[in-house]
Amino acid sequence: MIKKRYLWIDIARLIAIFCVVFNHVNENLNQSPTTSLTVILQLTGRIGVPLFLIISGYLMLNRDYTIDGKMDKFIHHNMLPMVYSTILWTFLLSLYTYFILNNKSIALLLQNLIFQNRPMPQMWYIQLLPVIYVLIPVLSIAKKFFNRYVGDIFLVGTALLGIGTLTANFTQNKFVPFQWNMSGSWGLVFIMLSLLVFGSYLNEISKSKSALILLGIGTLISFILFILNTKQLSPAGIMPTIWYTQVWVFIPGSFLILVIKRLNPHFENFISKSKLLQHSIPKLSNLTFGVYIVHYAFLNRILSLNIFHAGFLNTMLLSLLVLVISFIFVWVVTRIPKLPSFVFLTK
């Protein structure tokens, strides 16, 4: 079990939450019309979720759940709080969309409450996390006893997923080998699990220069393929393909986390010079789950004021504003005495 708090993990979480917010701001500001800028910003923003998943794999898949008490600790400290948080925020955001956003449809409210629909766009991830958490001990135990087998399964599966989605993209879904496609959630769940498994091998992979070079080359190739596919489909046509099952999202995300981890000594050296940074970065990192949950509500309210318009500068400014407001809100709420930790998954 990893007991030490690593600075690179805190920095990666902060980069990840910025990417998530940046992506949602871009989706709302830069869609009419969809331009090359929209596509570039969308691709950048999609990197956030892979970072979160890889970190989770690094922290939770390397635990030994066969030791007495470890499984119970995971269930009560990790899995059940995630389940409670998902139910709570599905309920609260369903009410928010009904009463505050004036989506006055009882049928839609009920669909949101029973997890048939997402009450807000960012909730797709939160509502999948309990399923992922249930599988974490299973993957960890399988990895302990069948280490190479588990790694090979996910490596081959990810390769098939990448080939399948690329073929579907370039043939405009005329050919979809291996039946991997974006119309269902199986491909999405598989890549989420694959990123968890990748995270569990991060210590070994980060020590290999050849792995870093290989992923760097893979990132470059994926970007080239992305550019070619964009020219083929147009910016508006490529937008639906910028999803987590695509090689131009999960490969760059994997490469970025390796770079961040390898830069940890430089981060440590830089931040050791500032007590403010030493104190604030871990605190902010601990609030990122809460920021992920609430940021879209604040984004909607600010957008209703019609202050910000399309463009990179406005996207950046609005992203920073939403982040600041969300962090402040989550921090204030966590100061409430006896607030259950599952509300924002704070320790």
Q: DSSP string of 34-67? A: T-HHHHHHHHHHTTHHHHHHHHHHHHHTTS-TTS
Residue 185 has a pLDDT of 73
Residue 1 has a pLDDT of 40
Task: Say if residue 235 is preceded by a cis peptide, omega within 30 of 0.
Answer: no
Q: Which amino acid is at 328?
A: I
The CA distance from 328 to 189, in Å, is 32
Q: For residue 220, count other CB atoms closer than 10 A to its CB.
A: 13
The CA distance from 44 to 26, in Å, is 10
Query: Residues of 108-126 as b/e, b for ≥16 C-beta within 10 angstroms?
Result: bbeebbeeeebbbebbebb
The CA distance from 240 to 233, in Å, is 11
Report the largest interatomic distance among the alpha carbons of the chain, rounded to a whole angstrom.
57
Residue 129 has a pLDDT of 95
The per-residue DSSP string of 217-239 comes to HHHHHHHHHHHHHHHHH-HHHHG
Enter the pTM of the model: 0.94
State the DSSP code for 77.
Answer: I
Residue 186 has a pLDDT of 78
Structure tokens at 225: 């393929």
pLDDT tens series, the chain, 347 aa = 445 679 999 999 999 999 999 999 999 999 888 999 999 999 999 999 999 999 999 999 999 999 999 999 999 999 999 999 999 999 999 999 999 987 788 999 999 999 999 999 999 999 999 999 999 999 999 999 999 999 999 999 999 889 988 998 999 988 888 765 544 577 888 999 999 999 999 999 999 999 999 999 999 999 999 999 999 999 999 998 899 999 999 999 999 999 999 999 999 999 999 999 999 999 999 999 999 999 999 999 999 999 999 999 999 999 999 999 999 999 999 999 999 999 999 87
State the DSSP code for 78.
Answer: I
The CA distance from 233 to 166, in Å, is 13
CB 226 within 8 A of CB 249: no
Length of the chain: 347
Closest CA to 132 of 179, 228, 197: 197
Q: At what angle do helices 36-45 and 209-233 cross, to 10 degrees?
A: 150
Q: What is the pLDDT of residues 293-345, one digit of tens each?
A: 999 999 999 999 999 999 999 999 999 999 999 999 999 999 999 999 999 99
Residue 347 has a pLDDT of 73
